[in-house]
Structure 1
Amino acid sequence: MTSPHPPAAPAQPRNPLHGLTLEAIVTALVAHYGWQELGRRIPVRCFTSEPSVSSSLKFLRKTPWAREKVEGLYLFMLRDQRRDQMHQNS
């Protein structure tokens, strides 16, 4: 007899993307960079032509290479923010 519950996903304490939705990532990038800078850094139409979170999510969910770029920029942004905090605290 099989269990009604799927096996638990392995814990990923070192993965900064673990537990984040794509919507949270896009929203954080827009808050940090704004649509214009986001479109300059990742030149795709969903960021450059009438951008919105919902249109971006539709595109990114269907386009793995673009999603990878967005996730990479998010990780870069986190490193930048940590670096800035370290400089402010020292």
Structure 2
Amino acid sequence: MKTHLHRIGEFAVIARRSGDEWFVGCIANEYGWELDITLDFLDPGIPYIARIYADDPEGAVSRTRVAVSVKEVKAGDVLRVTMAPSGGQAIHLAPNK
């Protein structure tokens, strides 16, 4: 497990690897946060698919109130994470085979 970014009482970003996949969890305090996460922990030269699960900014639009997005990333890329107040994100990164 790797604590990627944190400020006690404000936000935390933690990454964990299982095999060739990564799982990133982000959580914010009651004010919300916008952060840049550098994907320097990914294996270089391998494209990854990032499935990003975030608080739905529209809220009532989705039944689960979770917005899901997918994008291709690689080692060294920067993901902009916007967390709602008392919200967070979950990111699953898997090699794009």
TM range (shorter): under 0.3
Q: If each structure's strand is expressed as a fraction of its own residues, which one has the higher value?
A: 2
Q: Which has the higher contact order (CA 8 A, sep 6+)?
A: 2
Question: Please, what TM-score do these two structures have when normalized by structure 1?
Answer: 0.25
Q: If each structure's helix is expressed as a fraction of its own residues, which one has the higher value?
A: 1
